[in-house]
């Protein structure tokens, strides 16, 4: 598998799977644009990728909730590397965790301040929507491209407390991905959603049950994405792919 001469944008790239994807993609010869709000960590990650001397990396400070910043990331990608072949929307997470909401102080869904949920819906759903709108102009011109959305088992299961997260992820898994695929096909653009169960970007995810009795290694998720992006994955389109150790199939057995 090689991505020499190809360019990917990865959001949420200062941490977890967004970073791991960027590292993998550059190791396989591709150029990568790392987008995140965490400036210090982002610059360090970009430096480390470039020091390896394989694919090239640039960092763009980009809050995915801000359409102007999203367009700037797209423009910097095109100005630096000439194309956008892969757009990978990793930035996300459940707002009550990412915003450090204290459960004791805000015990139930209606008690949580609405701006916490605004943040969650904006990062998890609007961010990928904004990026789809922005990069589609470039991909349409190229007549090629792949957009990868990252869903979640929680988009399938729901969550009676952190409701922004399943609401947004289900939007990616069942609405946005199919819609992009419908529009994009005439221009050779594909869109696929990859929806993990628990992934060990955080140790606590080991507590979430699966039929296989373990959480995923982050690399297992990235390997699937790389396959979809590779020559071997070209017929995969408009679909949500669960990669969850069988949790979705488990019903009451988990």
Ligand X SMILES: NC(=O)c1ccc[n+]([C@@H]2O[C@H](COP(=O)([O-])OP(=O)(O)OC[C@H]3O[C@@H](n4cnc5c(N)ncnc54)[C@H](O)[C@@H]3O)[C@@H](O)[C@H]2O)c1
- Among 3, 1, 17, smallest CA distance to 146 is for 3
Contact status: 152 vs ligand X (CB under 6 A): yes
How far apart are the C-alpha atoms of 202 and 131, rounded to whole Å?
26
Instruction: Label the pairing between strands 189-196 and 145-150.
Output: parallel
Shortest distance, position 123 Cβ to ligand X, whole Å: 5
Region of residue 144 (phi > 0: left; psi between -120 and 50: alpha; otherwise: beta): beta
Give me Rg for the CA atoms of the chain: 18
Contact 197, 244 (CB under 8 A): yes
Identified catalytic residue from 67, 106, 165, 183:
165
Q: What is the DSSP letter of 174?
A: I
Q: Count Cα atoms within 13 angstroms, Cβ side, for 95.
A: 25
The contact mask relative to ligand X for 61-80 (x = CB under 6 A, - = no) is: -xxxx---------------
Residue 59 binds ligand X (CB under 6 A): no
For the chain, the straight-line distance linking the first and the last C-alpha, in angstroms and rounded, comes to 36
Identify the DSSP state of 246: T
| Segment contacting ligand X by CB under 6 A, of 75-83, 91-99, 139-147, 179-187 | 91-99
Q: Are 173 and 195 in contact (CB under 8 A)?
A: yes
Cβ-proximal residue to ligand X, closest one? 16
Which of positions 183-242 make contact with ligand X (CB under 6 A)? 196, 198-199, 201, 205
Rounded to 5 degrees, φ, ψ at 76 are -65, -35
Binding of ligand X by 155 (CB under 6 A): no
55 vs 151 by CB, closer to ligand X: 151
The number of CA neighbours under 13 Å toward the Cβ of 178 is: 6
**Contacting range for ligand X; rule: CB under 6 A; set: 30-38, 80-88, 110-118, 231-239:** 30-38
From candidates 3, 36, 77, 228, binder to ligand X by CB under 6 A: 36
Whether 165 is catalytic: yes
- In whole angstroms, the minimum distance from the beta carbon of 141 to ligand X comes to 25
Of 28, 29, 38, 99, which lies in the binding site for ligand X, with binding defined by CB under 6 A? 38
C-beta of 70: minimal distance to ligand X in Å? 9
Contact flag: residue 125 with ligand X (CB under 6 A): no
9 binds ligand X (CB under 6 A): no
Q: Write out the catalytic residue numbers.
A: 165
Binding site for ligand X (CB under 6 A): 11-12, 14-18, 36-38, 62-65, 90-93, 123, 150, 152, 196, 198-199, 201, 205
């Amino acid at each position: 598998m090689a991505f020499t001469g190809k360019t990917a944008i990865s959001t949420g790239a200062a941490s977890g799977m967004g970073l791991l994807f960027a590292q993998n993609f550059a190791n396989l010869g591709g150029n990568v644009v790392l987008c995140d709000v965490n400036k210090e960590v982002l610059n360090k990650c970009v430096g480390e990728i470039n020091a390896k001397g394989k694919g090239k990396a640039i960092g763009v400070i980009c809050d995915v909730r801000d359409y102007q910043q999203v367009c700037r990331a797209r423009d910097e990608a095109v100005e630096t590397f000439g194309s956008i072949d892969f757009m990978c929307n990793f930035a996300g997470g459940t707002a009550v965790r990412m915003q450090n909401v204290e459960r004791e102080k805000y015990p139930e869904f209606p008690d949580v301040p609405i701006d916490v949920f605004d943040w969650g819906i904006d990062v998890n759903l609007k961010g990928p929507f904004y990026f789809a709108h922005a990069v589609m102009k470039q991909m349409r011109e190229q007549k090629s491209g792949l957009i990868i959305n990252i869903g979640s088992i929680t988009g399938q299961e729901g969550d009676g407390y952190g409701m922004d997260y399943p609401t947004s992820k289900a939007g990616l898994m069942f609405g946005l991905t199919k819609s992009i695929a419908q529009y994009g096909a005439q221009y050779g653009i594909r869109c696929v959603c990859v929806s993990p169960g628990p992934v060990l970007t955080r140790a606590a995810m080991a507590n979430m049950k699966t039929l296989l009795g373990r959480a995923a290694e982050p690399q297992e998720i990235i390997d699937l994405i790389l396959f979809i992006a590779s020559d071997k994955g070209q017929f995969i389109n408009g679909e949500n792919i669960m990669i969850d150790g069988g949790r979705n199939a488990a019903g009451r057995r988990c």
